[in-house]
Amino acid sequence: MDSPENKKRLEDIYNQLVHIANGNFSYQIERTDKNDALEALTFLVNSTTEELRDAFLYQGFIKMPNSYEMVVQLYFELDGKGQIIKTNPTVDTLLHFKEGTLNGLPLSQLLEKSSQKGWKKLLKASPKDRIWELTLQLSLSEQSGLLLSSLFHIIYFPEYGNQLATFMMTSFDLVKKEETDQGFLQKKLKQQLQAHGLLPKPQKTDTHILRAVDLENLRKAKQHIMDNLDMPLPSIKELAHFCNTNEYKFKKGFKELFGMTAFQYQKHERLRKAHMLIEHSNKTILAIARTVGFKKGNHFAREFKKRYGYSPSVLRRLSK
Amino acid sequence: MKRIVETELATMWLENDILFFVWKEQVAIDLSGAKKTVARRMLLQQGKPYRILCNINGVRHIEKEAWHYLSGEGAELVQELVLIAATPLERVFSKYISTRMRSAPIKVFPDMETARKYLLHSR
């Protein structure tokens, strides 16, 4: 526990927890090859961060007030060899570098080991004479050693006239909205523009907001359906009761969270399970249909073909 | 004569009506790797549920979507899952798996010996 390496690992865990405590879920702790207690903690803290991040990502998208709405953009401009020419101030803020200190550095120096490989390959193998673009997941090292992983969109501009070849890299991240004067002014400005018809007004649709406890109950309902595919679907009344809510809220909530009704979800899962059993086992198709809850073989075959475009027997034949 | 099946991420074989499953050294499991491994396991099991003895010593990282997959769809035909957790990291993985796996009973043992004893004595 006292080695300098372990001290650093513990420090990383502290730093990550401080970020989480501040509502900042953008970072991940770098993993090592060890399997000791520190590594166990590292894994758990990283997993917790991801869970929190996903939960707030969802809330951010359903427009909860004062939540994590702001989209932050990272921007890098690199020369043809992959050295940083300029960055936007957010890069310095998120990676905790002093303004301007990144200029002149090769991007690979900022990248985590596994991302370095991918980036070096790209630099080497990519065409140098024409424009191209692609999207790539990269992990950057923040000043203290934590990792910031994001999907980057990379565009390469070849040399043209006086313009040297350049790379443009951008990425987005969902970060806690600061209730600063700037946020207040932005809100005011938005309202003004909407009043003058220059920005679309917010639609008065559902003000239905799913709270954390609702999310948990709906997931329980989904799991219950998944675990009992061979049984007929419980009535909406029963499912709503299972979720401690009313029928209207259950129907709306389920559809909003999972994108389909409970009935559609059950059918979806039944057919998925059947597909897997037909592909990977020797049970008869009729037996499989019964196992997943279809009473009639022809009904099953019809629904299967509707979903997958080929019949169960064709799949069986192809899987042998 | 037991037939040992090797995939990119794991090694598995059937012995005494038990499926032995060993994740390889330093594996990072992503969704596509998880799917391929599960497909190979399905093929080995031929539609029959088995009790599985799983060694997670080699696992370094599991992607979030891979977790979801392995504890849901990827847990089909698992009659019982027996895990060996000898290191702190493995203990934590086992705890994590136990809370996510709702379709099969899980037992965790500190070493291969006690795990084997349990499996042989409770047929």
What are the structural domains of chain A? Answer: 4-61 (1.10.8), 70-175 (3.30.450.20), 213-319 (1.10.10.60)
- Among the partner residues B39, B72, B102, nearest to A280 by beta-carbon distance: B39
Q: What is the CATH number of the domain that holds B12?
A: 3.30.750.24
> What is the residue range of B112's domain?
5-121
Which residues in chain B touch residue A35, judged by CB atoms under 8 angstroms apart?
Answer: 57, 87-90
Chain B residues 58-87 with CB within 8 Å of chain A? 60-61, 64, 72-73, 76-77, 87
Q: For residue A213, what are its two tokens?
A: 């406890």
Q: Between the CA of residue A55 and those of A49, A142, B65, what are the distances in Å?
A: 10, 24, 15
What does the pLDDT look like over B17-71, one tens digit per residue?
899 999 998 888 989 999 999 999 998 998 888 999 999 988 888 888 888 888 8
Which residues in chain B touch residue A278, judged by CB atoms under 8 angstroms apart?
Answer: none
Per the CB < 8 A criterion, the answer to whether A293 and A272 are in contact is no
Angle between helices B31-45 and B64-71 (to 10 degrees): 20
Per the CB < 8 A criterion, the answer to whether B41 and B12 are in contact is yes
The reported pTM is: 0.58
- Taking an 8 Å cut-off on Cβ atoms, the answer to whether A35 and B57 are in contact is yes
Instruction: Give chain B's largest Cα–Cα span.
Output: 37
Give the 3-state secondary structure of A45-108. HHHHHHHHHHHHHHHHHCCCCCCCCEEEEEEEEEECCCEEEEECHHHHHHHCCCCCCCCCCEHH
Q: pLDDT by residue for chain A (320 residues), tens digit each?
A: 678 899 999 999 999 999 888 888 889 999 988 889 999 999 999 999 988 887 776 655 554 455 555 566 789 999 999 999 999 888 888 888 888 888 999 999 999 988 999 999 999 999 999 999 998 889 999 988 899 988 899 999 999 988 899 999 998 776 655 544 455 566 777 777 777 777 776 665 554 566 666 777 888 888 888 888 888 888 888 888 888 888 888 888 888 888 888 899 999 989 988 988 888 888 899 999 998 889 888 999 999 999 998 999 999 988 87
Q: Name the helix (H) or strand (E) containing B22.
A: strand B18-23
How many independent structural domains does chain B possess? 1
Q: For residue B99, what are its two tokens?
A: 């809370």
Catalogue the long-range contacts made by A42-50 (C-beta closer than 8 Å, 24 or more residues apart): A42/A9, A42/A12, A42/A13, A43/B89, A43/B92, A43/B93, A44/B92, A44/B96, A45/A13, A45/A16, A45/A17, A45/A20, A46/A16, A47/B64, A47/B96, A48/A20, A49/A16, A49/A20, A49/A25, A50/A25, A50/B64
Q: For residue A73, what are its two tokens?
A: 């953009």
